[in-house]
């Protein structure tokens, strides 16, 4: 009779109540998924801000580079503190260009290869900086559903053990344990779906920005090579 009376009592299905009633293992899984979700969103917001700033810096430098002003003047103005990736690529190439000239004006042999290598190193460094943190999103997106599923399986196991001990299969007794177990799967999906979506978007944005730096490097190298040939 006591068991039937307890089953008839209204059950609190709020998220906090489900968490408090869950077993220790399920609680650990839920906490891990919540932390992973917060970490993912922090990475997403940080990368969105970084990429937006990179696009603004690239557009501003592109306007300055193609404005017709002498490249030496542009280099003198930004070489000390380049503010963006495009400026760092330009500074690397222009700095090597200047170092490749002797005092009397002659060009040191293999200047073209050194200029290309100097800009390639900076481009590779910028590509690494753009992709930094995206591995976290891929990891959360691929593992969070399985972590949540583990919590669900463990919670259902605990629920069935409780049913066996109480020897009561009424839905009012079974439902709370199942709800607690399914909370882990829901949180796993809640962490994984945004991580996968933004991983794909941010990866495409990083590739697009890196491609722009490589294109500029090629254009600038061609321009300097033309001047070397004419000289």
DSSP state of 101: B
How far is it, in rounded angstroms, from Cα 215 to Cα 219?
6
Per-residue tens of pLDDT for the chain, all 231 residues: 344 444 445 655 565 666 667 778 888 888 999 999 999 999 999 999 999 999 999 999 999 888 888 888 888 888 778 888 889 999 988 888 888 776 666 667 777 888 889 999 999 999 999 999 899 999 999 999 999 998 888 888 877 777 777 666 665 566 666 777 788 888 999 999 999 999 999 999 999 999 999 999 988 888 888 777 665
- Nearest CA to 230 among 104, 107, 114? 107
Q: Does residue 19 fall inside a structural domain?
A: no
Count CB neighbours of 208 within 10 A. 12
Model confidence, pTM: 0.80
Q: Are 22 and 155 in contact (CB under 8 A)?
A: yes
CA distance 23 to 177: 10
Residue 77 lies in a domain: yes
* 17 belongs to a structural domain: no
Determine the structural domain holding residue 51 and report its residue range: 24-230
Q: Is residue 150 part of a domain?
A: yes
Structurally, how many domains does the chain consist of?
A: 1
Position 11 in a domain: no
């Amino acid at each position: 009779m006591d068991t039937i009376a307890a089953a008839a009592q209204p059950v609190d299905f709020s998220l906090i109540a489900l968490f408090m009633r869950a077993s220790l293992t399920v609680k650990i899984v839920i906490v891990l998924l919540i932390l992973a979700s917060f970490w993912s969103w922090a990475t997403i917001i940080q990368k969105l801000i970084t990429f937006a700033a990179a696009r603004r810096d690239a557009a501003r430098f592109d306007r300055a580079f193609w404005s017709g002003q002498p490249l030496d003047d542009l280099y003198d103005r930004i070489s000390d503190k380049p503010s963006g990736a495009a400026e760092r690529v330009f500074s690397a190439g222009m700095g090597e260009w200047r170092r490749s000239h002797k005092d009397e004006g002659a060009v040191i042999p293999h200047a073209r290869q050194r200029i290309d290598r100097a800009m390639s190193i900076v481009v590779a460094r910028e590509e690494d900086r753009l992709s930094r943190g995206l591995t976290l999103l891929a990891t959360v997106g691929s593992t969070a559903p399985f972590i949540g599923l583990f919590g669900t399986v463990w919670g259902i196991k605990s629920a069935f053990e409780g049913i066996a001990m109480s020897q009561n299969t009424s839905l009012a007794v079974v439902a709370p344990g199942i709800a607690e177990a399914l909370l882990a799967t829901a949180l796993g999906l809640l962490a994984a779906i945004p991580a996968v979506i933004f991983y794909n978007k941010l990866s495409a944005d990083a590739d697009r920005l890196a491609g722009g730096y490589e294109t500029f490097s090629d254009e600038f190298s061609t321009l300097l090579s033309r001047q070397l040939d004419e000289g």
